[in-house]
Amino acid sequence: MKILDVRAASFECAFQEVLARGKMDIKNVSNIVQEILDSVQENGLAAIKAHIAQFDKWEAREFSDICITQEQCLKAYNALPLGLKSALHVAYDRIYAFHQKQKEKSWIDCEANGSLLGSKLTPMERAGLYIPGGKAAYPSSLLMNAIPAIVAGVKEIVVCSPTPNNEPHSLLLAALHLCGIKEIYKVGGASAIGLMAYGCKEVPKVDVITGPGNIFVACAKKLVFGEVNIDMIAGPSEIAIIADKDANARYVAYDLLSQAEHDEMASSILISDNLPLIESVQAHIQDILPTLSRAHIAEKSIQNRAVMIHTRSLKESIDIANALAPEHLEILCNEAFAVLPLIKHAGAIFLGQYSSEPIGDYLAGPNHTLPTGGSARFFSPLSVEHFMKRSSIIAFSAPALAEMGEACALLAQSESLQAHAQAVLTRLDSISTRDFSKERE
């Protein structure tokens, strides 16, 4: 891993490259992704089948070939070992309980003049969930995306996930059964985003697309935004760790590697004011890396995307973390809760040595679909709110219009919108002779 020292003259230039990690990635693939999306929009299922043959290395001849049935999911669920089935239910229950607390209700407020104002919350009718599956299977991502949609009350939930060599992962199938998903397609990458965003003869388009993915998926979601809503631009996984001299170097090493093994483009960043800790973590990573089953992926990530930043103080470490706005931020310091109020930008914050990032990935409860590439400055984690929309409610009474109508007309006239003004003044003429004080009695 590269070590950057804030004291070095070259630090600012090197740090700017780290900050630009998300922008550079999207730009590099946007032309390729746009071609894929255009193909899906123009050719529908024919394009999907061609992309499956090209990217997933199997041939889909009929529409039914790309579908996963509920019977397949039930069979996989029933075949799960008892311990794994229990773990899946623990995760489901904890994630459901957390997201249930997010659900808001519609409301109406009655003013003294008789007018009613409020907000009506309605679930999306049709939601599309993208579940990664190229380099590994992610049933955890299915739970994290499906459960908030279920809590929100979405009637139709569509799942797309790549299936290399046409071999669905049994645990993903089991999770699909647990979530009660009925519409499932073996389609991945930008093709899946196009299918859900534009629809085709066999598959109606969705209203919102959520879910993490590689840089091609993130770029595709960005390009279809407006055709449908999206949760965020979620690219390759990343972690930043603020650690002091008392942090356990082996814990830190494993947590950094937990992101590196996701993807060659994942980013693992350690921020510390203690050089001996940095050097110890470096040594542990070198020892651990060869033992990992996905060492070939993790090694490329560590070599090309990982960095250790040596700061002058804890305050400087915090400032750098806020500038990074990372997807996952671990605070491995003695006074972790004292640091928490100073954190401005992060997708998920893990406090203390026992709050390892993988706990958040699987069963802590909060959603693991998080903003990446610095977008935590303005995006939030996936939530129930992403699967709902608001409609404002306005019901003015005659007394309310009599009270405020002239002010409204005056504002409209100031913008030279005569019909706006007259729409209000015409109503005022019809109610000007009414005695509202008697009506209130």
Q: Binding residue per annotation — 169?
A: no
Determine the Cα–Cα distance for residues 277 and 252; give it in Å rounded to an integer: 9
Catalytic residue among 327, 330, 357, 386: 327
- CA distances for 127 relative to 193, 230, 283, 385, angstroms: 12, 10, 45, 13
Q: Binding residue per annotation — 99?
A: no
Q: What angle do CA 338, 374, 304 make, to 5 degrees?
A: 105
User: How many other CB atoms are found less than 10 A from the CB of residue 29?
Assistant: 17
Q: Binding residue per annotation — 258?
A: no
Q: Binding residue per annotation — 296?
A: no
Q: Is 327 among the residues known to form the active site?
A: yes
Q: Binding residue per annotation — 420?
A: yes
Structure tokens at 226: 């407006």
Beta pairing class for 116-123 and 107-110: antiparallel
Residue pair 185/68 in contact (Cβ under 8 Å)? The answer is yes
Q: Is 328 among the residues known to form the active site?
A: yes
Catalytic residue among 177, 328, 368, 386: 328
In SS3 terms, the chain reads as CEEEECCCCCHHHHHHHHHCHHHHHHHHHHHHHHHHHHHHHHHCHHHHHHHHHHHHCCCCCCHHHHEECHHHHHHHHHHCCHHHHHHHHHHHHHHHHHHHCCCCCCEEEECCCCCEEEEEEEECCEEEEECCCCCCCCHHHHHHHHHHHHHHCCCEEEEECCCHHHCCCHHHHHHHHHHCCCEEECCCHHHHHHHHHHCCCCCCCCCEEECCCCHHHHHHHHHHECCEEECCCCCCCEEEEEECCCCCHHHHHHHHHHHHCCCCCCEEEEEECCHHHHHHHHHHHHHHHHHCCCHHHHHHHHHHHCEEEECCCHHHHHHHHHHHCCCEEEEECCCHHHHHHHCCCCCEEEECCCCCHHHHHHCCCCCCCCCCCCHHHCCCCCCHHHHEEEEEEEECCHHHHHHHHHHHHHHHHHCCCHHHHHHHHHHHHHHCCCCHHHHHC
Residues annotated as part of the active site:
327-328
Binding site members for substrate = 237, 259, 262, 328, 361, 415, 420
Annotated binding site for Zn(2+): 259, 262, 361, 420
Residues comprising the binding site? Answer: 237, 259, 262, 328, 361, 415, 420
